[in-house]
Amino acid sequence: MIVAEQKPLKEIIAMTSPFKKLLIVGCNECVTVCHAGGRKEVEQLAAALAMAAQKDGRPLEIKEVTLERCCDPEYIEQVRPFIDQYEAVLSCACSVGTQYFADTYPTKWALPALNTSFMGGSLAQGIWAERCAGCGNCILHETGGICPIARCSKRMLNGPCGGSTGGHCEVNPDIPCGWQLIWDRLVALGRTPDYAKIMAAKDWNTSRDGGPRKIVREDLTI
């Protein structure tokens, strides 16, 4: 899932303070799961912004709505009947959703309430970790199912750097060395000879380095 966290309230107040009529939109998908931008967070944020406006003596009218998904035109359309009553959308969706609002409603400000951080999953209650950097050409079958791009701080592709110590990354000892994790998996799988295979230089054209990407499934397009 996409993992995000709410921006500091002070930053959101500064971003929204020029507006008197604000539509706050949450999303029922990833950002609900990571407790950043679902219905509950929208309610809490609306209350905090209303209090801040009252304290500053600013008029502020807020409408709250939480859509099923904010990265899908079908759901983004659901605010069309009332969006003209508001000056700006404060999006509690991930930054993909915020851009869907900007694209769909060109005359409305689309403001991000969240910092969208990474693709990852839950480790424990309240803890999420990055697992994929969206390189566009997955090599997990060659690395024991552990991603050297998302989980090695230097994106090393052929074994660890010289800073790997006791299974920890030199960038931060709290981070497990991605290549230690890969080695441990190869041991567990009985595939240690794979470690000696030299991986060719990666073609980063399939990643962000190749520019904004698009997937077109002709079997699904109308």
Residues within the interface to ligand SF4 (CB under 6 A): 132-135, 138-140, 147, 149-150, 152-154, 156, 160-161, 163-164, 169-171, 177-179
Shortest Cβ 148–ligand SF4 spacing (Å)? 7
Output 48 or 139, the one with its CB closest to ligand SF4: 139
209: left (phi over 0), alpha (psi -120 to 50) or beta: alpha
Shortest Cβ 208–ligand SF4 spacing (Å)? 11
Residues 6+ apart with CB under 8 A from 149: 133, 135, 155
Buried b vs exposed e over 160-176: b needs ≥16 C-beta within 10 Å?
beeebeeeebeeeeeee
Shortest Cβ 126–ligand SF4 spacing (Å)? 24
Output 24 or 152, the one with its CB closest to ligand SF4: 152
Output 8 or 163, the one with its CB closest to ligand SF4: 163
Output 96 or 132, the one with its CB closest to ligand SF4: 132
Q: Do 37 and 94 contact (CB within 8 A), yes or no?
A: yes
- The two tokens of residue 216 are 């077109």
